[in-house]
Amino acid sequence: MRQAGHIGYGIRPSARRRGLASWALGEMLREARSLGLDRVLIVCEAGNVASARTIERHGAILEELSLEEIRQTSHGSVRRYWIML
């Protein structure tokens, strides 16, 4: 959870730009609420602008680490976002 977050998703290249990521994230957030979670962590690669925008559209707040927005993990450079449910 610390490196990969609570929620993860991927959209194959041929299915991108159709709103599927936004739909999938919305469904996962709905499920998280039904499980009684009060917040979730979502991580995306630092250079993945499309994923960052999708996450931010769902009300995510970027975690700031001492003036840095990017964290180095075993998965590479990532941005960590929290969504309050």
Assigned token pair, 49: 């602008």
Residue spans of the domains in the chain: they are 13-84
Assign a CATH topology to domain 13-84: Aminopeptidase (3.40.630)
| Residue of 42, 53, 45 whose CA lies nearest to 19 | 53
3-state SS assignment for residue 48: coil
Q: Model pTM?
A: 0.81
* Tens place of pLDDT per residue across the chain (85 aa): 555 678 888 899 999 999 999 999 999 999 999 999 999 999 998 999 999 999 999 999 998 765 567 777 766 888 989 999 9
